[in-house]
Amino acid sequence: MLQKALDDINLCIFAQIILSKHQINYYFMLKNHPKGLVSAALANMGERFGFYTMMAILTLFLMSKFNISESEAGALYSVFYGAIYILALVGGIIADKSRNYKGTIMAGLIVMSIGYVLLAMPSLITTKYIALGALLVIAFGNGLFKGNLQALVGQMYDNDKYRDKRDAGFQIFYMFINIGAMFAPFLASWVRNTFVKMQGYIYSADLPGLCHQFLDGKMAQDVIDGRFTELAVIASSGASVSNLTDFATSYLDAFNTGFHYAFLTAVAAMAISFIIFLLTKKSFPDPKVQTKATQANISKEEIKQNAKEIKQRIYALLAVFGVVIFFWFSFHQNGLTLTFFAKDYTLLGGAFSSAEVFQSINPILVVLLTPLIIMIFGRLAKKGKEPSTPKKIAIGMGIAAFAFVIMAVGSMGLPLLSDVKAQGGLPDAMKVTPWLLFATYLTLTVAELFISPLGLSFVSKVAPAHMQGLMQGGWLTATAVGNFSLFLGAMMYENISISITWTVFVAVCLVSMIAMLSMVKWLEKVAK
């Protein structure tokens, strides 16, 4: 336990060292951007912290708490993550109609906090349906918050002074909001593991599933006498286990209660974000209190955009939304099938001591790689060779495909999940190195930086002024559709070859890339 804590601390220290080396670069990155940019990013850190807390532990919590399969956990996960983003459309409509973006954002933070508090109550969350209800409260709060904060960031760059820095601005925003996400998986797993230790046990990723299997009477006797008893003794700090039934019941209770308390970390993050937003909200644009002159200017600007042009802009956005659905369907497997893979097929240890820790890789890399990506695009821009935003998104699709090529190749020869379960878990000698997942997360992060922040930038640039909240909600709705499909990944993971499962995602990303490339010239014309 101590070694695990030290490994986690060392990884965090490493990240901090790298961050400190980049601080000068960060200063120059921010120098020519609106002062409200960092405030918006810091206010969004709470949402990201909660998001990555959920990504790290949600499916593992659902399976351990309610004894459900990977497919069923995947279905609940899909509903939740789909709702998070589709409700952003509702939040965007509310903010556009009221012109009260700031009030809607603050309401969202409060509602999300309530949802996390509900999840943190073991006595309340007694069925998977009650858990889903609490998750939908979080999703509704997120819908009020997320798209509207992005709309405010876009409005900062409507100023002629900053207009040409819109892409870089959204990349910086995206980088900073991931700082909170870096620490969420570490803290959530630490809270759970600490509570498990307080109950006299040691964390084991394999034990919850084995405990349920034993209690349900579905475990072969050789597994009971072998691997299950062995892990029970290890989890009991080497003490003999005289009654396996009592052990299984007690271990599950400790493990699941620890998960519940881990959700409280998200509540604290929400409170911090609320305070930051409250103290800095004057630095954000406020359409509600625009002068009549400003409103008149907006009206004249939109009048110049005839009905045909506005339709073209909306059609262009809808086309991009349709393509990115498939990216999010693939990318958000990081909290589902890739998390399952970390638990079932990956040799854990050292800095990669638990399946949840892998969820920190993505935000750490977002923070570290964003300055590099901005620098590369900046140099290309000086040479007149910078790709357009639609081309960058298409390139990102290709990079995502390559990430799953890495997984497909690295997973060749691994047995079916059903065979792994039948033998009580995969022997360590057959498990893959954690660096396989690290390489995949690294590649997926690069793809994300080509797609997500630049997609937000594209939406803010192309969307008509009176539809900013709605169109940002539309981008998130596309994400929702991809997330609603996540369960298909869980079904494939559970029922077919692991390598073939990743190959399907390769094909999905490649088709998306081709579709995007076919529309590039049209999208570039519309975005002018």
For 502, residues 6+ apart whose C-beta sits below 8 A from its C-beta are 404, 405, 407, 408, 411
As beta bridge partners, residue 346 has 432
Q: Does residue 305 register a pLDDT over 70?
A: no
Q: In this structure, what token pair is assigned to residue 449?
A: 């930086």
CATH architecture of structural domain 2-7+28-281+307-527:
Up-down Bundle (1.20)
* Per-residue pLDDT, 5: 43
DSSP string, 36-67: HHHHHHHHHHHHHHHHHHHHHHHHHHHHHHH-
* Per-residue pLDDT, 307: 67
Contact 54/84 with Cβ under 8 angstroms?
A: no
Helix (H, G, I), strand (E, B) or coil at 432: strand
The Cα–Cα gap between 361 and 383 comes to 33
- Boundaries of every domain in the chain: 2-7+28-281+307-527
pTM of the model: 0.69
CA nearest to 202, candidates 164, 160, 233, 177:
233
Q: Does residue 18 register a pLDDT over 70?
A: no
Maximum Cα–Cα distance across the chain:
80
Q: With bands split at pLDDT 50, 70 and 90, how would you rate the model's confidence at 351?
A: confident
pLDDT in tens, 48-61: 888 778 777 888 88
Sign of the Cα pseudo-torsion (380, 384, 389, 395, in order): negative
pLDDT in tens, 247-285: 999 999 999 999 999 999 889 888 988 998 888 888 887
* Per-residue pLDDT, 243: 93
Radius of gyration of the chain (CA): 23
